[in-house]
Structure 1
């Protein structure tokens, strides 16, 4: 049986220097190392942990924090994808997309509990030098989602470079997607992003009631945050490029994770998954560089304006 000592975990967390990675890496490691049949078997049994018990409430709180930490990249994708519809419908698209995704996440949670062993079992084994691949359903979904995220980020970056008038593009935007298509893409990618959080949640608790409640509450929080993130990117367009490059790194992270799950080897070298702590470190560096560069650029522009004003002949 898979045993999880919640009290010792909480104690170790508060005795460790704070970092975002400490929420995700131990849980992801536990989810990855636990045999699928053990996880599925534990979840299939009735759980003694109640949602309204002290342990259940603490576990629920940890799951909500985990969902929030793992859901940042998803929130960024939702904000960028919703821009492709008419401005008056963007907020509605975000709310409907996240709302439907909550429903499908709960369904996915129950499905994963029942078929996790099948998703982890390789259905394609390719051993041919210099490439070795053991592809499973889980790895295929993660690699496919990562490739789609990479394509989206590259396409949006190219669009920013190709547009001739940023002011006109900012007013009109590229409204190439219908509302239905935008919602469908948001729901689909939400499910791809949810695999990590679901597997981590399964390592934390055996209670489907607690996991489903965490999905609902974190989804409501995401609905509230989505409009704020979209509004921030709209008012601060210089951070849009930063957001797209973060999205690009998210795609790389998903592809590397899928390659690790598929046990891909190239010329004898294993594909290693990008650690969550590495992702958040790169994210922090990108944000700091962008903020410092933005402030420095403002000072340069102010100095240039003063010099031009001083060079003008007095009347």
Structure 2
């Protein structure tokens, strides 16, 4: 076990460690978005438990996969060929996970935009949604993202210790960020549609990757960052318009109060005038 961390004596290993930690955190964004919006389907008092369970499962899966690195490496070897493309177990896992994401995102988008559909949406707190169902769906995607994450780690370094530290660091960041991200999504309903769009895009790229059409991750995350920036500006603009309306309404009410004429009570017929 001690041999696993012998790399700590090598200064150059810290560069690889930092690079891999950043890479694992970036790769965890997909998983974190899914966990955050799916946990928001539960009642508020159970969401934190679901998030912690989902992220804990992600850590357990990734550490378990790290203990079988030799098997993970073999997942990239083709097991059969179709239409001139060799499919490996990794490809099949990515395709299955991508199809699940596309189905889930499409289903939730349909529920959100169809006025005739009265089923629960991703932002509702329907009693029919159970903790077990949410955790099971999180577990399915944890498996897909964990396999992709570990294969990326294996391709970047040969040191198991570096992989372990990078995975644990990335999961800790996910754990810290999951609460604020879930609350932000809940407080800004338009973000839900954007997050579902992200999941739809991620699912499509997983399917494409499994079919042999590799899409550089930089393009995907650049598109996500740009879309998030535009949505953030929309939120700021909407908030400014609301404050302007509230300020204008307050000024109008104050002006009406000052300009209102003083009403003198009508004198009762036959009654003597009141002397002040």
Secondary structure of the 1:143 match is helix
Change (3 A) 1:288 1:276: same
- Is 1:143 aligned with 2:95? yes
Structure 2 counterpart of 1:196: 148
Structure 2 counterpart of 1:187: 139
Cα deviation digits, residues 89-136 of structure 1 (max 9, x gap): 11011111211221111111222x212453222222224xxxx44221
For the pair shown, the structure with the greater C-alpha radius of gyration is 2
Change (3 A) 1:251 1:175: farther
Structure 2 counterpart of 1:274: 215
Change (3 A) 1:126 1:63: closer
Structure 1 counterpart of 2:81: 125
Aligned pair partner of 1:288 in 220, 229, 234? 229
Cα deviation digits, residues 181-240 of structure 1 (max 9, x gap): 322221221221123322222233212122112212221221111111101111122211
- The runs of 5 or more residues in structure 2 that have no matched partner are 261-276
Structure 1 counterpart of 2:263: none
Query: When the two structures are aligned, how many residues end up with a matched partner?
Result: 251
Preserved contact between residue 58 and residue 146 of structure 2 (Cα < 8 Å): no
- Is 1:55 aligned with 2:7? no
> How far 1:293 moved relative to its partner?
3.7
Give the distance between the partners of 1:51 and 1:98, measured in 2 at CA: 27
Aligned pair partner of 2:188 in 236, 249, 263? 236
Give the distance between the partners of 1:144 and 1:205, measured in 2 at CA: 27
Aligned pair partner of 2:27 in 47, 70, 79? 70
Secondary structure of the 1:125 match is strand
- Is 1:91 aligned with 2:74? no
Cα deviation digits, residues 152-175 of structure 1 (max 9, x gap): 111111111135799x97985234
Give the distance between the partners of 1:216 and 1:296, measured in 2 at CA: 38
Change (3 A) 1:175 1:259: farther
TM-score relative to the length of structure 2: 0.78
